[in-house]
Structure 1
């Protein structure tokens, strides 16, 4: 039996420097993990990209494919946008899919693919009025936004703990979406 495929989509937020830990947690949870990074997050990992390719067994994507290119990744069973930056949240909530990292889940949720998202940003960023509107827009489309006690509770400015990002909570949300215990 083949493993279900999880697209783990990571933004340029602090925990992405430890995205390999999120990949390992998802693999331990039974997922075949395909990693998609925002262009900025890709640049963080660029010197060590082969580590992520070796870990996942798939190319790490950060840009849309060209029209003549074939899909390099297997079809997703589910998608997890984590850590989701405030920028990605607000662009996605406004329907702006200028990066592969936003375009994939934006389309997938409207094609019946289960999509969860867990943010990582501080309370000052979260206080922007656009944040609540964007969360509401994503939830209205069926995205499971894991904020607060079930996901990530925003931290005070300059007091985040990227290493302590709760990957297990994010994966628990995905399991609920796909009906796995």
Structure 2
């Protein structure tokens, strides 16, 4: 068994939000906490929302976005935990409804059935967050044991914008499990 094999394995699911460009900060923080990391991304997120080559170099593993064909080896070991960051309105609603039309969503749906601890850092604007389907999805996912963090709990930017995205908030949630 190698040192890499002895570390707990974290699946990071990245959705298509502008803040996804900073996902390497999450990976760095997870690795500093002794997690081995594998990244799943929604197909739209793969289209330029973050530097895929840099993330693959940082994790030493390919990013998973498409289903593997039968007989292909699994590129990641089973997860010890899952962190969805940033989590979009679309992903949260589809996941709560049990949709598995992408590898990322299928992985999230399967994690529940396997009892894998899961944390989420939503990245949803106020107008979308007001939608009743979103609120119902949060309730359903919480009932499933999914933990939600507040990624924007810091101080507002000097220009009045949102505070910096708190990538480590999701890791903190997992530390408490």
- Same fold flag (TM > 0.5): yes
Deviations 1:80-103 (A, max 9, x none): 011100010111111111111111
- Gap runs ≥5 in structure 1: none
Residues 1:120 and 2:123 are matched in the alignment: yes
For 2:48, what is the secondary structure of its paired residue? helix
| Count of residues in Structure 1 that have an aligned counterpart in Structure 2 | 168
Residues 1:10 and 2:22 are matched in the alignment: no
- CA distance 1:51–1:66, change in 2 (3 Å): same
Q: Are 1:110 and 1:141, in contact at CA under 8 Å, matched by a contact in 2?
A: no
What CA RMSD, in Å, does the superposition of the two structures yield over aligned residues?
2.0
Q: Which residue of 2 aligns with 1:65?
A: 68
Deviations 1:155-180 (A, max 9, x none): 9xxx7648x21011111001112xxx
Separation (CA, whole Å) in 2 of partners of 1:84 and 1:45: 13
Separation (CA, whole Å) in 2 of partners of 1:41 and 1:95: 20
Q: 1:136 aligns with which of 132, 136, 139?
A: 139
Deviations 1:16-58 (A, max 9, x none): 1111111111111211011111101111158x43221110011
Q: Which residue of 1 aligns with 2:165?
A: 165
> Normalising to structure 2: TM-score of the pair?
0.87
- Gap runs ≥5 in structure 2: none
Q: Are 1:38 and 1:99, in contact at CA under 8 Å, matched by a contact in 2?
A: yes
Runs of 4+ residues deviating >6 angstroms:
none
Q: Which residue of 1 aligns with 2:91?
A: 88
For 2:63, what is the secondary structure of its paired residue? coil
Q: Which has the larger helix fraction?
A: 1
Deviations 1:98-157 (A, max 9, x none): 11111112111221111111101111110000011101111111111224xxx446x9xx
> Normalising to structure 1: TM-score of the pair?
0.85
